[in-house]
């Protein structure tokens, strides 16, 4: 076997690196595990610095680069930015700086929204940084110019989710307060523009009612990863038994086990990897 071929065979067995500010990106990891069972996934949740959503672009870029380098040190062959905030603000920089493919979640979410809307009026909820970046408006309009996009920042949702208050009266009240104004705009599709939000699916579904479809990026993101791996000859051999390994930058999140249960994931032992 030629050296170049040997290199490719080794590379195919390397992990897909996935990161989020916390445990929300596990919703994307679950979709990756479902679609690509042969792949080894190395997930980093930056729990020491969650939430990213209220921070400046410069800080989000710096955090994203630091976590991506952690993933490269684990041998990541591709990086999935399983965080809308980091996708909205840091993906172009990561694509310039890193020598592996980098896939964010904004484009897959936009594709899901355009496919779902019938009345061409889409709502997007996300962190303040994601909403302010207008990344979803750009991505959705680039796909279909006539779609109207209404956005709403929901900064209290990530802390409630990281706290494990998934089906709680307080969470319901907060959700109602955020969603009422955007529902009045006549949307028929709501993009969960934060990878934490699918964990609130039941509360959100109840609040929006049957006439609004909830969509998120996870499945389309996994499909994009599959396509990029395939095109680059980087997919793990089908005979591999894939796995999920989780590292956190701080051991603080007791909620990890709840997320694991609610997503049907087998996380196993969690490593703590402090930054720096």
- List, by residue number, the catalytic residues: 83, 194
The stretch near ligand DGL (CB under 6 A) out of 7-15, 16-24, 90-98, 246-254 is 16-24
For ligand DGL, the closer of residues 14 and 64 by Cβ is: 64
Residue 59 CB burial class (10 angstroms; 0-12, 13-18, ≥19): middle
Binding mask 32-61 for ligand DGL (x = CB under 6 A): ------------------xxxx--------
Contact 225, 36 (CB under 8 A): yes
CB of 138 to ligand DGL, least distance (A): 16
For ligand DGL, the closer of residues 85 and 107 by Cβ is: 85
Q: How far apart are CA 155 and CA 143, in angstroms?
A: 27
For ligand DGL, the closer of residues 64 and 85 by Cβ is: 85
Helix-, strand-, coil-residue percentages of the chain, each rounded to 5: 50, 15, 35
CB of 92 to ligand DGL, least distance (A): 17
By CB under 6 A, tell whether 196 contacts ligand DGL: yes
Q: How far apart are CA 196 and CA 23, in angstroms?
A: 7
The stretch near ligand DGL (CB under 6 A) out of 8-16, 80-88, 165-173, 238-246 is 80-88
Q: How far apart, in Å, do the first and last CA atoms of the chain sit? A: 39
Contact 133, 88 (CB under 8 A): yes
CA distances (Å), 206 to each of 113, 155, 163, 167, in order?
19, 20, 21, 11
Q: How far apart are CA 163 and CA 175, in angstroms?
A: 15
Binding mask 149-178 for ligand DGL (x = CB under 6 A): ---------x--------------------
The DSSP bridge pattern shows strands 102-103 and 243-248 to be unpaired
For ligand DGL, the closer of residues 60 and 235 by Cβ is: 60
Cβ-closest residue to ligand DGL?
53
Find the farthest-apart pair of alpha carbons in the chain and give their distance in angstroms, rounded. Answer: 63
CB of 27 to ligand DGL, least distance (A): 8
For ligand DGL, the closer of residues 12 and 24 by Cβ is: 24
Site residues (CB under 6 A) for ligand DGL? 20-22, 24, 50-53, 83-85, 127, 130, 158, 194-196
């Amino acid at each position: 076997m030629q050296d170049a071929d040997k290199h490719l065979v080794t590379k195919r067995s390397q992990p897909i690196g996935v990161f989020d500010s916390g445990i929300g990106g596990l919703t994307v990891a679950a979709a990756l595990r479902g679609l690509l069972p042969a792949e080894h996934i190395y997930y980093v949740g930056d729990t020491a610095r969650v939430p990213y959503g209220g921070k400046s672009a410069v800080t989000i870029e710096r955090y994203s680069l630091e976590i991506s380098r952690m993933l490269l040190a684990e041998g990541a062959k591709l990086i999935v930015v399983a965080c809308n905030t980091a996708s909205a603000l840091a993906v172009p920089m990561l694509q310039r700086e890193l020598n592996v493919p980098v896939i964010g979640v904004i484009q897959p979410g936009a594709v899901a929204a355009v496919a779902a809307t019938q009345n061409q009026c889409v709502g997007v909820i996300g962190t303040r940084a994601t909403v302010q970046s207008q990344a979803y408006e750009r991505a959705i309009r680039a796909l279909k110019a006539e779609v109207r996009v209404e956005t709403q920042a929901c900064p209290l949702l990530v802390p409630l989710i990281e706290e494990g208050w998934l089906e709680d009266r307080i969470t319901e009240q907060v959700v109602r307060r955020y969603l009422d104004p955007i529902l009045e705009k006549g949307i028929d599709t709501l993009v969960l523009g934060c990878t934490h939000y699918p964990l609130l699916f039941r509360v959100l579904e109840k609040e929006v009612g049957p006439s609004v479809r909830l969509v998120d990026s996870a499945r389309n993101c996994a499909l994009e990863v599959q396509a990029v791996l395939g095109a680059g000859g980087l997919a793990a051999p089908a005979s591999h038994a894939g796995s999920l390994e989780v590292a956190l930058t701080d051991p603080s999140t007791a909620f990890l086990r709840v997320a694991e249960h609610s997503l049907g994931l087998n996380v196993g032992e969690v490593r703590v990897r402090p930054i720096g």
